[in-house]
Structure 1
Amino acid sequence: MASQRPLPPHAATAMPVGQMAELLPDGLVVVGGDQVIRFVNGEALRILARTREDLVGRPVREALPLADKTGRDWWEHTEPWDGLATRTGHREKLLVGPGRRDLLVTARYVRSARNRGVERVLLGLRDAAARQRAERDNATVLATVAHELRAPLTSVTGFTNSLLRRWDRFTDDQKRLMIETIQSDATRLSRLIGELLDISRLDADRLTLRLGPVDLEDLLRRHVVRHELSRRGQITLRLGDRARAAGVPELWADADRLEQVLFNLIENASLHGGGDITVTLDRDGPEPAGVLVHVDDTGDGVRPEDRERVFDRFWHGTDTTTTGLGLYVVRGFVEAHGGTVTVGDSDAGGARFTVRLPANMPAYVPDRT
């Protein structure tokens, strides 16, 4: 579609009505008092997949048959020209048009004076396919979230009820196991809710970064220690050749968001990577150098055709044990910092996730003492 330039002052009053109708984002069909189609704009022709000759000058009931989802003829049911004189039209309704095409139709009745006959019927048309896809996507999101919330909630409520009602019947070891399970599932719930809030901020472009100097090497070492203390597996942290020679640049970034990026990538490698994880930290690019992070695993890897999709919201391939949120959040946070994240093949045979972050240090950093 050609770009629409701003109109000069008073141009709207001088522009013919037909030209103005072509600027509308929705389809417009104008039907006269004789029930013959008088005008159709270009968007309506696109939505209906018809030519102007198919519609203009023809009776509307023949050229533009409309029915509701039960198959009832919409024109016969509404009778715009023969109904009550006080009616002004109909709100948007999902109807079936020519070619069994789903349409969102709005009707407005135009009269020359109150209580006079209808001289024109203005139909506003929208393609229903995009809205229906959005509604299906929303339903999928709600079903996924409900499923992910239900599992840990069932565990938490089940164990707490058992402990409250039969405390004296359990041994100390049994109580400890149940409380540890409750804590683990509560942490999982908290993380899931946090990811959902992050996704809503990313989708609404309302993500706020609290920027400051970040030592990514120190952040990674502390994260690796916590990971190993939680008995989640062994991680090897190493520095690349350039980092060993010249050090790792300090970043100007949001430490909490970067920690979430590292956590999600390592968690993903733990779940899908076969056990052994190697995190490599290096300098990236010429001066001023950025930071390069590789997270390698020894799992089955990611198929080339899925390497873009793994960062999509709620995508988890054939694995139904994960939410499909973690990598979506990773990409959103990394791109918010002006960086990139990609996935390829690891030398160890599994997947390699690569994060590139610019240093982004400001020319002047206020004295924080």
Structure 2
Amino acid sequence: MSIGTSRSPGVQDILCTRADHGALGDLGDGLGIHPDDLPDGLVVADESGHVICFNAAAARITAVHASDALGVPLEHALPLEDLEGRRWWQLTDPYGGIATRFAQPERNLLLPGGREVLVSARYVRTAPTGPVRRVVVSIRDTEARRRTERSHAELIATVAHELRSPLTSVKGFTATLLAKWERFTDDQKKLMLETVDADANRVTRLIAELLDISRIDSGRLELRRQPVDIGAAVGRHIQAHVASGQDADRFLVRIQRPLPDCWADPDKIDQVLSNLLENAVRHGEGTVTIDVAASSSPREQGGAETAVTVSDEGSGIPEESMGRVFTRFWRGSKRGGTGLGLYIVKGIVEAHGGTITVGRAPGGGAQFRFTLPVGTPAYLL
């Protein structure tokens, strides 16, 4: 993109390079920071309103080459409009506006072509009410923020959808029982109350998932570490599946003992195992195999690991989807669920300092493998 506007005399040779900061005064001196090191776009205009710095991030965001912007009037090098189509520099008038003004707060503006960016400005004056010596403009791409906003909107939509069904059921059954209690037999009352109880548990699980996501995203997931017998934990979960109607022959557990001591949060590890086994049972087919063993590839710092692998014999996960398995809202099938479970599993494993991967099992199904560092925590040594 070429601007094609006449340049101010005497500044056409000013380039924003690592070798020459002259036009920018002491910007970055003593810190070893050059404008191109900044993550955000930086545009600086001198007292005459001509651009004297146009860093690499600004060039990337605006698609204007620095050599085309340097020496050009600011309103031509950076032709911004507000969301109503008005020219921003004419509205703000940095050089001829109110003498006490020193900044413009961040706002959404449009580049030529309609691309939206976040822009803020600072007016550098020689005195509190003196003339403007520099106009310093910061530009940010809105794509990352938009992705975050979309993610939050999707989360809200998913939660609203998942809550609507059980709450409608709870409300319907309780209202019916209260209005017509005497008309139902004890067996009918029991069935309705069991349904209400199951739907209430579903709401409770969803709220717990939301709290976990909030803590994972903010880095505040608390772990209460204590010795954990992974083999025994696996056994408890399999017994629960058998008690709920699954065939005991569907599960194959292989534990390579001796296992090293594993210090972890037992509730969080139960959550990980529950999710992985539930996925294997619900979305997979055939035998569900659980392998527990000491890791054969210790971490670089010399600590051992316990590795847990959960495999099934179903159709597996398509190769093109494996990179999205641990993201929010990913669903491997149309059999329901919020799509949040594996995202939470990854957050829990990584909070323990471990890793989790997904691949194809020898039998063709999905295979999830997570590792946990072992050994006594430093505060107990």
Give the TM-score range, shorter chain.
Answer: 0.7 to 0.9
Please give the root-mean-square deviation of Cα atoms over the aligned residues, in Å.
Answer: 3.4
Matched, 1:271 2:285: no
Distance 2:36 2:379 in 1: 52
Corresponding position: 1:136 with 2:147: no
**Secondary structure of 1:206's aligned partner:** coil
1:77 and 2:77 equivalent?
A: no
Find the counterpart in structure 2 of residue 214 from structure 1.
Answer: 228
CA contact (8 A) 2:290 2:310 kept: yes
| 1:57 aligned onto 2:89 | no
Distance across 1 between alignment mates of 2:32 and 2:266: 56
Report what 2:4 is aligned to. none
Q: Could you tell me which amino acid in structure 1 is paired with residue 231 of structure 2?
A: E
Aligned residue in 2 for 1:260: 271
Which residue is 1:342 aligned to?
A: 357
Matched residues in 1 for 2:135 and 2:46: separation? 7
Q: How big is the shift at 1:333? A: 2.3
Single out whichever of 286-295 and 197-206 deviates more from structure 2.
286-295
Please report how far the alpha carbon of residue 266 of structure 1 lies from its aligned counterpart in structure 2 after TM superposition. 1.2
Structure 2, unmatched stretches of 5+, are 1-25
Which residue of 2 is the match for residue 285 of structure 1? Answer: 296
* Matching residue of 2:123: 109
CA drift of 1:276 comes to: 5.0
Listed one character per residue, the Cα deviations across residues 80-113 of structure 1 (whole Å, up to 9, x for unaligned) are: 3344444333211111124543221112334445
More deviation, 51-60/334-343: 334-343
- Cα distance in 2, alignment partners of residues 251 and 135 from structure 1: 39
For residues 49-84 of structure 1, what are the alpha-carbon distances to aligned partners after superposition, in whole Å with 9 as ceiling and x for unaligned? 322331122222322211122222222333333444
Matched, 1:306 2:318: no
**Residues 18 and 102 of structure 1, relative CA distance in 2, 3 Å threshold:** farther
Rounded Cα–Cα distance in structure 2 between residues aligned with 1:167 and 1:297? 46
Distance 2:250 2:350 in 1: 26
Residue 290 of structure 1 deviates from its aligned partner by 4.8
**Paired AA for residue 316 in structure 2:** G
Percent identity over the alignment is 48
Name the residue aligned to 2:141. 127
1:244-284 deviation line (CA, Å, top 9, x unaligned): xx444442222211111111111112221247534344454
Q: TM-score, normalised by structure 2?
A: 0.79
Q: Kindly provide the CA deviation profile for residues 187-234 of structure 1, in whole angstroms up to 9, marking residues without a partner as x.
A: 122222222222222222222322222222222222222222233565
Distance 1:235 1:306, change over 3 A: farther
Which has the larger displacement, 194-203 or 26-35? 26-35
- Tell whether the 8 Å contact from 2:317 to 2:332 is kept in structure 1 after alignment: no
The CA distance in 1 between the partners of 2:177 and 2:186, in whole Å, is: 11
Partner of 1:324: 339
| Corresponding residue for residue 226 of structure 1 | 240
Q: Partner residue of 1:351?
A: 366
Query: In the superposition, relative to structure 1, how do residues 259 and 18 fare at CA in structure 2: closer, same or farther (>3 Å)?
Result: closer
In structure 2, what is the equivalent of residue 194 of structure 1?
208
Contact 2:250 2:286 in 1 (8 A): no
Alpha-carbon distance change, 63 to 348 in structure 1, aligned in 2, over 3 angstroms: closer
Q: Which consecutive unaligned segments of at least 5 residues does structure 1 have?
A: 1-11
- Quote the Cα distance in structure 1 between the aligned partners of 2:236 and 2:357: 24
Bigger Cα displacement from structure 2, 51-60 vs 269-278 = 269-278
Cα offset for 1:30? Answer: 2.6
Instruction: Specify the SS of the correspondent of 1:311.
Output: coil
CA contact (8 A) 1:236 1:279 kept: no
The amino acid across from 1:192 in the alignment is L
Structure 1 residue 364, shift from structure 2 partner: 11
Match of 2:14 in 1: none
Partner Cα distance (1:330, 1:26) in 2: 34
Per mean C-alpha deviation after superposition, the further-off stretch among 172-181 and 21-30 is 21-30
- Aligned residues between the structures: 353
CA shift, 1:115, in A, is 5.2
Return the letter of the residue paired with 1:131.
Answer: R
Which whole-Å CA distance do the structure 1 matches of 2:289 and 2:27 have between them?
68
Asked whether the equivalents of residues 103 and 125 of structure 1 are also in contact (C-alpha less than 8 Å), the reply is yes
> Is 1:297 aligned to residue 312 of structure 2?
yes
From the superposition, tell whether residues 23 and 114 of structure 1 become closer, same or farther in structure 2 (CA, over 3 Å). Answer: same
1:110-132 deviation per Cα after TM superposition (whole angstroms, max 9, x unaligned): 44455555454332222222222
CA contact (8 A) 2:117 2:141 kept: yes
